[in-house]
Structure 1
Amino acid sequence: MLRATDLHKAYETEDGALPVLRGVSLAMEGGETLALTGESGSGKSTMLHLIGGLDAADHGQIVVDGIDLGTLDDIGRAKLRRDTVGLIFQQFNLIPSLNVMQNLTFQARLAGRHDVSWTDSLAQRLGLADHLDRYPEQLSGGQQQRVAIGRTLAARPRLVLADEPTGNLDETTGDIVLDLLLELARETNTAVLMVTHSQRLAARMARQVHLTQGQLTRPDMGQAAQ
C-alpha cells in the first residue's frame, strides 16, 4: 500500500538549509495501522505531507497503491488525494457553509463514490444521525472531528493519513474518536498512518516508529528502521 524509500527533506532558512528528514524509509500493507511518533519539530507532519502529495521530497521515492508520487504533477497529486489517500487533521477543516450531511458527502462526491447507504451507516456509527442539518459552528469539537473522519471514510480511501487527529480533544473524547476511526478502518481494510506525540495513543496501533533528528527508529528496538 505504501513504500517510502530514503526520503530527504530540508527547508531554507536565513541561516541556510535546515534538514528535517535524513533518509527515512518505511512501508505499510493494506489495512495496517502505524503510529509515527517523535518530538515537536522532528518531521512527523512533514513526512505525512510528503506521503499525501502536499509537498515534494528533495530526494527519495514514495509509492502509494502502486503510484509513484514523483511522476505526478499538481493535478495528479490532487487526484491521488481525491481517490486514494484520505487526510485527517486536528484542525477539522470542515466547510463552514455546508451542514453535516453536505460535509460528510463532499469528498465522496468529488471522487465519484457517493454511496447513500454507506454515508447513512457512517452517520449512525459516528453518532451524527441527529445532527445532519447542523453546521460546524453548532457542533462540539468531538462532533466536528467525527464529521472529519466520516468525510474521509465516505470516499473509501485505501490509505488514511491522520495528523494528531485527537489533538484538539479531551482524553475521553479523543479515545472515543480514535476507537471509531480504527473500527471503521478495520471494516474497510483501510491502512492508517497516524502522527501522534502520545505514546498511549500510539500503543493502539499495530506498529510504531519514531522520528529522531530526521531519522526513523523503532521505539522497541532503539535502532534505525530498515
Structure 2
Amino acid sequence: MNTIELQQTLPAVFAGRDSIISDVWHQLLTLKRGEAYLVEAASGTGKSSLCSYIYGYRNDYQGIICFDGKNIRSLSVHDWVEIRKSSISMLFQELRLFTELTAWENVQLKNSLTGFKSKKEIKAWFEQFGIADKWNTPVAKMSFGQQQRVALVRALCQPFDFIFLDEPISHLDEENGRIMSRILVEEADRQGAGIIVTSIGKHLELNYTKTLKL
C-alpha cells in the first residue's frame, strides 16, 4: 500500500456543525508511504475516530477513504485481515492489551500471527525500553507508561506500510520518548513505511513531513 486518501471525510457526529476548520476533515488529503505526519488535535475533535476509520474498526463517517485508490467500504473481511496483518499497524490510545497476560504473552499473540520478529529481537527492544524485568509480569501490574512501551513493541511485530500511533507517549518521560522515536524510525525506515502520530500536546519528536491540524 502506497497511499491512504481521504476525500471529504467527516465523522457522522460532526455532520450538523455549521463550519469545520481542519486540515483533515472535509478535505482532500493523501498520506504517502515513507513520510511522517503529525496530527495535532484538541480533545474531542476526532483523532481517535480517524484512526478507527482507517483501521476499519468503525465506519460512522461521511465521505470516502481509499487505500491505493480503492474505497475501503468495499473491502471484505478477508481483505481487512490481510491489511491488518501486513499493511497497517495501529497503536491505539487505550492500548488494547490483555491485562491478565504477561508483557511477553501480549507481544507473542501478535508475533505468532506474523512470525515477523525473533524472540531475540523482541527481547532487545524490551531491554532498550528498560522493561526487560517486566517480561513475565502481568500487564495489569505494570504502569501505563510501561504498558505503552509493550504496546509499541507489539505494534512493530508485523510488516506494515503505515503505522498509526494515537497519543503514544502520553505517559512517558522525555528519555523514553526519545527511545520510542528512535526505535520507531529505525523500523519504519527498514520497511519504507509511513508514520502517522496523533497528539493533543505532547508528541514524538520526529522529522515530520507535514503537521496537520485536526
1:11/1:106 CA distance change after superposition, 3 Å? same
Q: Deviations over 1:160-195 (max 9, x none)?
A: 111111123455544443443334333443321011
Contact kept? 1:52, 1:161, Cα under 8 Å:
no
Q: Does 1:125 align with 2:128?
A: yes
Structure 1 counterpart SS, 2:168: coil
Match of 1:221 in 2: none
Residue matched to 1:3? 4
Amino acid aligned to 2:5: A
Of 144-153 and 40-49, deviating more is 40-49
Matched, 1:115 2:141: no
Q: Is 2:209 the partner of 1:207?
A: yes
Q: Return closer, same or farther for 1:72/1:45 CA change in 2, 3 Å cut-off.
A: same
1:36 paired to 2:29: no
Unaligned runs of 5+ residues in structure 1 are 213-226
C-alpha displacement at 1:202, in angstroms?
6.4
Letter in 2 for 1:51: I
Alpha-carbon deviations, 1:55-93, whole Å to 9, x = none? 2242223216x7642321344324322332111123222
Q: Distance in 2 between matches of 1:155 and 1:2?
A: 19
Say whether the 8 Å CA contact 1:82–1:107 is kept in structure 2.
no
Q: Distance in 1 between matches of 2:86 and 2:176?
A: 29
Q: Retained in 2: the 8 A contact 1:90–1:166?
A: no
> What are the within-5 Å matches in structure 2 for residues 33-72 of structure 1?
33-56=36-59, 57-63=61-67, 68-72=71-75
1:4–1:24: 8 Å Cα contact kept in structure 2?
Answer: no
Larger relative strand fraction = 1
2:133 is paired with a residue whose SS is: coil
Q: Which residue of 2 aligns with 1:216?
A: none
- Partner SS state of residue 23, structure 1: coil
Alignment of 1:134-173 (within 5 A): 134-170=137-173, 173=176
How many residue pairs match? The answer is 208
Q: What is the TM-score normalised by the length of structure 2?
A: 0.79
CA deviation profile, 1:12-54 (whole Å, cap 9, x unmatched): 59xx845877423322333321101122233322222221112
- Unaligned runs of 5+ residues in structure 2 are none
Q: Which moved more, 1:177-186 or 1:41-50?
A: 177-186
Question: How far apart are the structure 1 equivalents of 2:48 and 2:126?
Answer: 28
Cα distance change, pair 50–124 in 1 and its aligned pair in 2 (3 A)? same
Relative to the length of structure 1, the TM-score reads 0.75
What is the aligned partner in structure 2 of residue 77 from structure 1?
80
Cα distance change on mapping 1:86 and 1:67 into 2, 3 Å: farther
Equivalent-residue separation in structure 2 for 1:133 and 1:202 (angstroms) = 28
Match of 1:195 among 188, 195, 198: 198
Match of 2:93 among 90, 110, 121: 90
Question: What letter matches 2:165 in structure 1?
Answer: A
The CA distance in 1 between the partners of 2:113 and 2:150, in whole Å, is 17
